[in-house]
Structure 1
């Protein structure tokens, strides 16, 4: 009976501690012989997105594993991610929680997270930053005019990590981690691009319709040219159930050769991209270069780093799975015919997106190679 009781206690403890261990990958399971890419804000949706891209060979990294990183203070229940990663097909994905809460004044300097950030950097070859809600404007020294901040601690965590990686105007004496590994891969989508800019000392336009085009409501905004709409404002004035959240619009490359030469995109193509944002880059952060803009040049759609070749980001969403396979048919405007995202893109637009992911795959492989040589 005593043995049974002892076994029962061990079993219960194992069950109770397992979620904790599953979120402390660096301490318990890290292998020095594997290559890891970090995923900031590893929600179920973001993990499933990367898994889709891997499964369909859009992201071509068969030997890489992924560590989802997050602050314990974020407004997301990561037990959902823990449950997802228990599935056998998700064995390449892991979680690492980061304890502590920083104030706004601490994030652009050495702080309690610095040691953990360095360990994450030392044991990985790159990091993805995904989309999400508005950054608190006081971080880039503005009053809140149009921002809706729903997860401030997520931003403090991600901005501080990006600052540690890349440095910024806020603290010129700080030596960025990437000085040690300049081939390290960093990218972002939508909020990820905005975070990269703010972390390096840049600022944001808090609302594109109001501050760029001087349109103060949805009705006025919808009078703009379609390529000036970066999310779907029809949702604010109609109850149509098939409306997409997003907007498709074209972009144009700048004189910087990133897209024509690095991505191998047709230099004459103005690709159609998917977006869902109302904010954009205003002042550029330290060492960032613009690679693409909206058709009218008012919204920055792509950036790259001047010093670190594998650091680049886009304002749009090339990661959405519906761009690569038939999915639900939706409408932008109430009078439109429903179409899938896959149908909306032309073959040339689809090729552009695939090439962008090929560029990401090559950048990560270059980071792996550089780390092995070192």
Structure 2
């Protein structure tokens, strides 16, 4: 059996259970509730959640109140897990906060508070503009977040932006087997299942 390491908050558990139901041969180790046996892991899934703690950011934070709900224990686990995954070239999928963790870990910075992307009631549907070579080209996405990527971390290439304000919504990690990050929430709708299919295919290709 192949395994994926992740940290999934309780409010997102049902979404990811639905997403991974078609893959009974893949086990999710949730670091929020389980001790993750890293030697059994073939992929890393970074999911949505609260803001990254100020101590991890590579930038000044003039107003600390912009950092909302920081979870230092989660930060510590995710940054360490990401470093391991990158060293081992494991398949990587980063979602919302996870994309921000990836960017910061690679030396990038964040826009600490942006307007018009955090309406939880409508999930703030965004029309996207894609790079011609973008691997995944979803025309509209459910993007709910109050922070976003600013300066890109090393090796990241932008694949899609919000058509309205050019906020980065999708990146890939260049010269890497499978490394994608999205600011939107593909776990919330079945129309994004192809993204998870591609991720799981790459995880299953790694020898347990």
Tell me which of 48, 60, 65 is aligned to 1:142.
Answer: 60
More strand by share: 2
Is 1:303–1:313's contact at 8 Å kept on the other side of the alignment?
yes
Structure 1's unaligned 5+ residue stretches are: 1-33, 71-77, 79-94, 98-118, 167-175, 179-183, 210-228, 233-242, 260-264, 325-349
- 1:366 is the counterpart of 2:202: yes
User: Which whole-Å deviations, capped at 9, do the CAs of 1:178-199 have from their partners, x for residues lacking one?
Assistant: 2xxxxx2211211011111111
Tell me which of 63, 79, 82 is aligned to 1:162.
Answer: 82
- 1:256 is the counterpart of 2:167: no
Work out the CA distance in 2 between the residues paired with 1:362 and 1:318: 13
User: Which whole-Å deviations, capped at 9, do the CAs of 1:4-35 have from their partners, x for residues lacking one?
Assistant: xxxxxxxxxxxxxxxxxxxxxxxxxxxxxx21
Is 2:3–2:43's contact at 8 Å kept on the other side of the alignment?
yes
User: Normalising to structure 2: TM-score of the pair?
Assistant: 0.86
Is 1:125–1:364's contact at 8 Å kept on the other side of the alignment?
no
Which residue is 2:151 aligned to? 283
Which residue is 1:308 aligned to? 176
Greater relative CO (CA pairs within 8 A, separation 6+) = 2
Which of structures 1 and 2 has the bigger CA Rg?
Answer: 1
What's the CA shift for 1:149?
4.0
User: Normalising to structure 1: TM-score of the pair?
Assistant: 0.50
Structure 2's unaligned 5+ residue stretches are: none
**TM alignment of 1:291-370, pairs within 5 A:** 291-296=159-164, 298-320=166-188, 323-324=189-190, 350=191, 353=192, 357-370=193-206
Which residue is 1:196 aligned to? 102
Tell me which of 48, 51, 70 is aligned to 2:14.
Answer: 48
- 1:247 is the counterpart of 2:124: yes
What's the CA shift for 1:54?
3.4
What's the CA shift for 1:316?
0.5
What's the CA shift for 1:296?
4.1
What's the CA shift for 1:144?
4.4
Which residue is 1:18 aligned to? none
Instruction: Supply the RMSD in Å over aligned alpha carbons.
Output: 2.3
TM-aligned CA distance change 1:292 to 1:274, over 3 Å: same
Work out the CA distance in 2 between the residues paired with 1:208 and 1:43: 23
User: Which whole-Å deviations, capped at 9, do the CAs of 1:203-253 have from their partners, x for residues lacking one?
Assistant: 1010123xxxxxxxxxxxxxxxxxxx2112xxxxxxxxxx71621121111
